[in-house]
Structure 1
Amino acid sequence: MASLAAPITHANQVLASLGSDLHVHLLPGIDDGARTVADGLTLLEKHYQSGIRSIVATPHVRADFFLNTQASIRAAWELIYPEAQRQWPDLRLTYAAEYFADDYLMSLIEQEELLPLFDRYLLVETSMNRESPYLSEIIRTLLDKGWKPVLAHPERYRPWHKRPDRYAELHEMNVIFQVNLLSLAGVYGPAEKAMAEKLIHLGWVGAVGSDLHHPNQYHYIQKAVQNPFFQMLNDVPLLNHALLHTTRNE
């Protein structure tokens, strides 16, 4: 077996069972992800070699750090899209956002200025270190307005690890849980890895994202796909598979 640091090759399309990535930070210079167009293209190349054929770039949107807008996100996408199309014409690259649950998101909801993954699926995150006073209200508002919330990396919200009722509550509200491949590789720690595996075991995971920020993280993908819980996802109707059949155009 190749070492974990071995480069992904065309013969080793380890992500072909997913076919798509709907959470990745590859738009250049717009958040804490890819710094340059070259970094973003490197991530695209590695994903393509791994069997990914549809990607939604999801830069952060939050009031305190990354006050991105539809215009700023599209501008960053336009920096990388032409070269991506030239190099990989059968790779579909669109853009959305990863929205932090804060007052700014509430204002965007009211103004209908949101970028969904596709259809009405919206990627949302919350604080990893403390309970957010906004999350439940935001989720209910999104649902009332016909959005379909996709909760980014629920396994990383440490305050919930001792409160399984929070996961059950959101699952009962039809919130879609999106786990990170990096969590399955143990990148964030054993507690996050164990929670990701538990959510998969419960059958509560409806989407998978790499959440890659930099090319030097890619060797963890090989470790993630060797996790038996990743193999369990092959039998789950994930949003990743639905994304492959959408017809959204930018």
Structure 2
Amino acid sequence: MILPTYPKQANISEDGSYLEKIGADLHLHVLPGIDDGSPSVEESLQILAAHHAAGIRRIIATPHIRSDFFPNDQHTIHAAWQLLTEAAADHWPDLVLTYAAEHFGDDYLMTLLEKGQVLPLFDRYVLVETSMRTEMPHFPQVLRAMIDHGWKPVLAHPERYRPWQQRPERYAELREMGIIFQVNLLSLGGQYGPTEKLLAQQMVRQGWIGAVGTDLHRANQYSYLRKAARTPEFAMLCDAPLLNHLVPEHEARN
């Protein structure tokens, strides 16, 4: 397979390996054709090429698992991962690509917990999300059930949940539970708008962030990653004790 050219929006040569200090990218929708992320192997290779040039050497692909929209399981995810790793192997032999999932925190996740079928980032860390538009009052109970089952919830992009943006007590409640907050670099770069950017900045400054992900879905979002990398908050994240630095250098799923 011919290595695809970089999209114009990436223009990564300006900044060199600017993502290297973040460590692993543990939130990325790069597996082709199984959720709302990359639609094809070709686009996935563009993303991997840009990530590699930006200094990333460890990636955890995190496709959605959500029964109503993205009914993925280990079989569908593994098949997409195998397809991509075979296409990428000759281009970046030093790139470690594994997979997990971004689990939607609803009754279906409770079923997966009972069956022992969640897909952790590594160790016992599990990426989880909730609705960005509607308050889900039972979400804290889902997180508590995860903890009771021995998992360590990593909350994807807390800055993006609109029902919480005027409710700081919700964030305080989750932090009291020991939930790890994972900020999106796309938020710091302004991809989602000023409110999400401001909340992301505030959480970084308050020391609330324990993990970082790009949450990239398309190669043409790279301009927002460059914007994020030029913020004071990005420099703070580079010096923070992030979960990203604990990702094993070599970890495979069968």
Q: Fold conserved (TM > 0.5)?
A: yes
Q: CA deviation at 1:248?
A: 2.1
Distance (Å, rounded) in 2 between the aligned partners of 1:80 and 1:6: 20
Distance (Å, rounded) in 2 between the aligned partners of 1:199 and 1:186: 15
Task: State the AA in 2 paired with 1:248.
Answer: E
Q: CA deviation at 1:246?
A: 4.7
1:130 alignment counterpart: 134
Aligned partners of 1:63 and 1:102 also within 8 Å: no
Deviations 1:62-82 (A, max 9, x none): 011001011000011111011
Aligned partners of 1:118 and 1:246 also within 8 Å: no
Distance (Å, rounded) in 2 between the aligned partners of 1:5 and 1:246: 30
Does residue 178 (structure 1) correspond to residue 211 (structure 2)? The answer is no
- Provide the secondary structure at the position in 1 that maps to 2:21: coil
Higher mean Cα deviation, 23-32 or 9-18?
A: 9-18
Distance (Å, rounded) in 1 between the aligned partners of 2:16 and 2:171: 35
2:118 alignment counterpart: 114
Distance (Å, rounded) in 1 between the aligned partners of 2:227 and 2:250: 32
Deviations 1:12-55 (A, max 9, x none): 11101112100010100000100000111110000000000000
1:41-60 alignment, distance < 5 Å? 41-60=45-64
| Pair 1:209–1:222, CA change in 2 (3 A) | same
1:39-188 alignment, distance < 5 Å? 39-188=43-192
Q: CA deviation at 1:6?
A: 5.7
| Structure 2: gaps (5+ residues) | 1-7
1:32 alignment counterpart: 36
After TM superposition, the score normalised by the length of structure 1 is 0.95
- Provide the secondary structure at the position in 1 that maps to 2:39: coil
Aligned partners of 1:17 and 1:234 also within 8 Å: yes
2:3 alignment counterpart: none
Q: How many pairs align?
A: 246
2:18 alignment counterpart: 14
Aligned partners of 1:129 and 1:157 also within 8 Å: yes
- Provide the secondary structure at the position in 2 that maps to 1:93: strand
